[in-house]
Amino acid sequence: MSELLEMKGIQKSFNDSPVLKDVEFTVKQGEVHALMGENGAGKSTLIKILTGIYPKDGGQIFWEGKAVDINSRSDASKLGIGVIYQELSLIPTLTVAQNIMLGKEKAIKGILQSNKMKLDVEELIQKYNFRIKADAVVETLTIAERQVVEILKALSENSKLIIMDEPTASLSAKESESLFGIIEQLKQQGVSIIYISHRLEEVYRLSDRLTVLRDGVRVAVLEKEEIIPEDVIRLMIGKDLSEATASNNLRVSDKRVLLKVKNLKRKGVFKNISFEIHEGEIVGFAGLIGAGRTEVMRCIYGADPYDSGEILFEDKPVSKTISKNIKAGFGLVPEDRRNQGFTPLLSIEKNIALTNYDTIASHGIVNRAKEKEYGNTMVEKLNIKPGNSQIPVGNLSGGNQQKAVLGKWLSRDLKLLIIDEPTAGIDIGAKDEIYKIIENLAENGTAVIMVSSDLQELLRVSQRVIVMRKGEICAEFSEGRITQEHILMAESGILTKGGNEDEK
């Protein structure tokens, strides 16, 4: 196999702080090359330099042996590089077809061939067997569906190299499987793939080669046979990790019931939702994307209205006002971090202060010292990098942003914390830290509801698992042993309520 891409001595800094230091990176023809590294290691930045989004401060790029200048996204396209970016790059007000064809429209004498393009896109959707309408407007799609559009967009380019930055972060297991199939197919056709993911099992399974970045430095390139999970993790985080085996000891808590949801219904979104949460318990919510878990959680939290049913917290009806619920001890870490989790322009400490003004401020006047103290405590406690609470959260990497969002709640006297997709796009080291935080909370009596599409994570952390499907609770696992297969079967409707009983 020949070198398709060679990046040499790539350097980059943002706001005078170096993010990439002399990075070398090569991709061979027809290989799946995984790019690994902790949050903020510089993976996305490297990709953006390769695709002309950011200018590089130094270094060279060779494509098929020749030095090239890539100054814009279209330069990259011309070379044959297709990308799925970590943050979705779709145009919400355009249709699926328009989005997929964006930048490569077909036109005769300047007039667009809209129908032709739509047919092409439909063909493409058929070819890869996805369930999306070509003329749907993107803003009406779910995040998962948007991710699919993103994938199709990259596939439509007939590229020689396709870069996938966290393509499965918001995909369900089933859709991920189809993506893996597509990757195999592409590989057969001689297309190279750069694959970035924090889901390690995917990486081990797919990749032919693996490059590890740490703090903007390339620390290793591993051939397929050298890829040993423990080694990779050690390389990534620079130390050993006591990875707990995916524990699956389910148990029903004997503590008092904290939250009781009865027959909750929201038209067209979910119905018949009933469950109980005990003090100090961690309950996982599984389900395919679009199962309606996020919606249920938002209703409980008071962010959305519901049509009928009852939510009781400590035997009292839950308020429909968020601020009252927060006072009562609720907390929410939302799924869509960038749009719902934090205010990007504000510093870490000010973001953290947002939920804590009842203790930080008196009579509406902010106690600056206290605010600082809260910020610094959290930065230290959560190991947020870089360790300065004055930095705007928008400038942090994904994982550190998530920690900052968590930090908003941890200085409070929390009784119930709802975490939606706590580790989407977060590196293994940070994941572990976040699990520890969750477990710690539970030990101190906080009930935690964890909505997650990462089955391993669900099994690792939860004491009970509730599975939702199409807006209803379809199964609950509360005792014995379960495996990922159980949940998968329940999610896709094969296994029904209390399924673990008829397990051998």
Partner 1 sequence: MRQENMRRIISVASLFLMMMVFGLTSSSFFSMNNMMSILRECSINGIIAIGVAFVIITAGIDLSTGAIVGFTSMMCANLLYYYQLPATLIFVIAIAIGTFCGVLNGYVVTRLRVPAFIATLSTQYLFRSLVFAFAIREGGVITNKKITDPGVLIMGGSIDGIYLVTIAFVVLAIVGQIILKKTKLGTYIYATGSNQKSAELSGINAGKVKWIVFIITGFLCGIAAIFEIGRIGSVTTDLGTGLEFEVIAAVVIGGCAFSGGRGDIFGTFIGAIFMAVLQNGILKYNLPTAAQLVIKGIVIVVMIIFDSVYNNIMQKRILQKARELDEAAQAEEVA
Partner 2 sequence: MKNNNLNIKTIFNKSQKLWILVVVMIILTVLQPGVFLTFANMKSILLSISIYGIMVCGTIFPILLGGIDLSVGAVAAAAGAFTVVQIVNSGYTNQGVIIGVCGGLLLGIIVGLVHGVIVTRFNVPPFLITLATQNIVYGVAQLLTGNNVIACMEPKLFAFLGGERVLGVPFSVWIMIFMALISYVLLNKTVFGRSIYAVGGNAEACFLSGIKSKTIIVLAYVASGFTAAMAGIVLASMNRQAIAKAAQGYDNFVLTALVVGGASLMGGEGTITGAIWGAFLVGVISNGLRLLGVASDYHGIIKCIVIIAAVALDANIRYKKSGLQKKSLFFKKNKAQA
| Residues that bind partner 2 in the complex, under the rule CB under 8 A | 12-16, 54-58, 69, 71-72, 301, 303, 322-323, 325-327, 332, 334, 339-346, 350-351, 353-355, 357, 361, 364-366, 368, 408
Neighbouring residues of 279: CB distance < 8 A, sequence distance ≥ 6: 253, 255, 256, 257, 258, 415, 445, 447
Nearer to partner 2, 407 or 429 (CB): 407
Using the contact rule CB under 6 A, the part of the chain among 32-40, 96-104, 311-319, 455-463 near ligand ATP is 32-40
DSSP 158: -
Nearer to partner 1, 436 or 470 (CB): 470
Minimum separation from the CB atom of position 323 to partner 2 (A): 4
- Of the chain, the end-to-end C-alpha distance in Å amounts to 48
Minimum separation from the CB atom of position 66 to ligand ATP (A): 26
Pick from 462, 461, 494: nearest CA to 477: 462
Q: Which neighbouring-strand residues pair with 67?
A: 62
Give CA separation, 31 vs 26, 36, 76, 91, 172, in Å.
11, 16, 19, 31, 25
Interaction partner, residue 88 (partner 2, Mg ion, partner 1, none; CB < 5-8 Å by kind): partner 1
Question: How many residues sit close enough to ligand ATP to count as binding (CB under 6 A)?
Answer: 34
Minimum separation from the CB atom of position 143 to Mg ion (A): 7
Q: How far apart are CA 305 and CA 295, in angstroms?
A: 10
Distance from CA of residue 94 to its chain's centroid? 24
Among 167, 331, 334, 399, binds ligand ATP (CB under 6 A): 399
Q: CA 217, 386, 215 angle in degrees (round to 5)? A: 10
Nearer to ligand ATP, 39 or 351 (CB): 39
Interaction partner, residue 453 (partner 2, Mg ion, ligand ATP, none; CB < 5-8 Å by kind): ligand ATP
Nearer to partner 1, 31 or 166 (CB): 166
Interaction partner, residue 108 (partner 1, ligand ATP, Mg ion, none; CB < 5-8 Å by kind): none
Minimum separation from the CB atom of position 188 to Mg ion (A): 28
SS3 content of the chain, % helix, strand, coil (to 5): 35, 30, 35
Q: Which x/- pattern over 207-246 shows residues binding ligand ATP (rule: CB under 6 A)? A: ----------------------------------------
Among 86, 192, 211, 500, binds ligand ATP (CB under 6 A): 86
Among 9, 14, 67, 105, binds partner 1 (CB under 8 A): 105
The CA R_g of the chain, rounded to the nearest whole Å, is 23
Binding of ligand ATP at residue 45 (CB under 6 A)?
yes
DSSP 423: T
Residue carrying the six token digits 């814009």:
72
3-state secondary structure 96-121: HHHHHCCCCCCEECCEECHHHHHHHH
Binding of partner 1 at residue 112 (CB under 8 A)?
yes
Nearer to partner 2, 55 or 181 (CB): 55
Interaction partner, residue 335 (partner 1, partner 2, Mg ion, none; CB < 5-8 Å by kind): Mg ion
Using the contact rule CB under 6 A, the part of the chain among 36-44, 234-242, 373-381, 484-492 near ligand ATP is 36-44
Which 141-160 positions form the footprint of partner 1 (CB under 8 A)?
A: 141, 153
Binding of partner 1 at residue 88 (CB under 8 A)?
yes
Binding of partner 1 at residue 103 (CB under 8 A)?
yes
Q: By the 8 A CB rule, do 481 and 248 touch?
A: yes
Pick from 30, 35, 80: nearest CA to 191: 30
Q: Cis peptide leading into 167, omega within 30 of 0?
A: no
Judged by DSSP in three states, 247 sits in: coil
Binding of partner 1 at residue 55 (CB under 8 A)?
no
Q: How far apart are CA 504 and CA 52, in angstroms?
A: 55
Helices (H) and strands (E) in the chain, counts: 17, 24
Question: How many residues sit close enough to partner 1 to count as binding (CB under 8 A)?
Answer: 41
Binding of partner 1 at residue 290 (CB under 8 A)?
yes
* Per-residue buried b or exposed e for 68-97, using 16+ beta carbons within 10 Å of the residue's own CB: eebeebeebbebbbbbbbbeeebeeeebbb
Which 235-274 positions form the footprint of partner 1 (CB under 8 A)?
A: 267-269
Nearer to partner 2, 178 or 340 (CB): 340
Q: By the 8 A CB rule, do 315 and 293 touch?
A: no
Binding of ligand ATP at residue 42 (CB under 6 A)?
yes
Interaction partner, residue 340 (Mg ion, partner 2, ligand ATP, none; CB < 5-8 Å by kind): partner 2
Q: How far apart are CA 347 and CA 350, in angstroms?
A: 5
Q: Which residues bind Mg ion (CB under 5 A)?
A: 44, 86, 294, 335
Q: How far apart are CA 314 and CA 3, in angstroms?
A: 63
Which 437-496 positions form the footprint of partner 1 (CB under 8 A)?
A: 470-471, 493
- Interface residue list for ligand ATP (CB under 6 A): 14-15, 19, 37, 39-45, 86, 140, 142-143, 269, 287, 289-295, 335, 395-399, 425, 427, 451, 453
Contacts to partner 1 by CB under 8 A: 53, 72-74, 76-77, 83, 85, 87-95, 98-99, 102-103, 105, 107, 110-112, 114, 131, 135-137, 140-141, 153, 267-269, 290, 470-471, 493
